[in-house]
Amino acid sequence: MSFFYRLCWCIIAPFVRIFMPTKVIGKENTPKGRAIFACNHTSNLDIIVIDCCRVKRPYVLAKHTLFKNKLFGAILKSFGAIPVNRQDLSTTTVRKTLQVLQNDEHLIIFPEGTRKETLDETVALKNGMALFALKTNSPIVPMFMAKKPRIFRCNKLFIGEPLDLKEYEGQRPTKEILSQVSNVVLGKMQKMKSDYESTLTPKQLEKLKLQQEKAIAKDKKRKEKKLLKETNAKK
């Protein structure tokens, strides 16, 4: 662990814990050895909040565009971020990711592939998570962030039991098998979401549903805007 990382963590962690308090439920489910943590992705602050709640320093896959600025990219790498191009997974990314897991480290992956303020029923997880898990015999630990992290708002982070993937051991990681693993993980994440919502009062649940509807509409608008921009760029 680098001195720079320890310094930044000592400065940031108290701030996050005071101004963005997050209750961790299921911390005892965290494996001591290698593990892939699969969490819904609500905000760029997710990784900071998770890091401040962590058992040990995690590594994380981050979109490659964040590394365009060399200084910022160097800072991200010191925090254990591994650049990944979602449209074109490079051999360098794969090698570094496998190395992290083979060294018995923790790796955080946001398998939705993009930020979404809510884990809705239409989501489909990317299969890279399952591939890395099967290649390194790493358990997958499902996680669920209840709300988008914001200052002065209490939040909850659920950590589920590690998924045993021994039934797939020795099998060729075909697309079908990878999809099966991804679907199991998604089911666990959605179950944590459902369990959380069951603890809310009718008024809180109604408020949450309105927020989710707005978030889904916002995500749709953002995707349409991105698609339009890409289309115009090709012309």
Residues 103 and 146 in one domain: yes
Residues 26 and 99 in one domain: yes
Residues 212 and 99 in one domain: no
Residues 191 and 232 in one domain: no
Q: Give me the pLDDT at residue 30, please.
A: 92
Q: Is the pLDDT of residue 19 over 80?
A: yes
Residues 186 and 224 in one domain: no
How many CA atoms lie less than 13 Å away from 85 in the CB half-sphere? 7
Q: Return mean pLDDT, the chain.
A: 85
Q: Give me the pLDDT at residue 228, please.
A: 83
> How many structural domains comprise the chain?
2
The band of 37, judged by pLDDT with boundaries at 50, 70 and 90, is: very high
Q: Give me the pLDDT at residue 120, please.
A: 62
Q: Is 56 exposed, middle or buried (0-12, 13-18, 19+ CB in 10 A)?
A: exposed
Q: What is the pLDDT of residues 100-144, one digit of tens each?
A: 999 999 999 998 877 766 676 556 678 888 999 999 999 999 999
**For residue 220, what are the domain limits?**
201-235
Write down the pTM of the prediction: 0.84
What average pLDDT does range 73-85 have in this prediction? 78
Residues 113 and 208 in one domain: no
Q: What is the pLDDT of residues 152-190, one digit of tens each?
A: 999 999 999 999 888 888 788 899 999 999 999 999 999
Cβ neighbours for 38, distance < 8 A, ≥ 6 positions apart:
109, 110, 111, 125, 129, 140, 141, 142, 143, 185, 189
Output the domain CATH number for residue 176: 3.40.1130.10
Residues 174 and 141 in one domain: yes
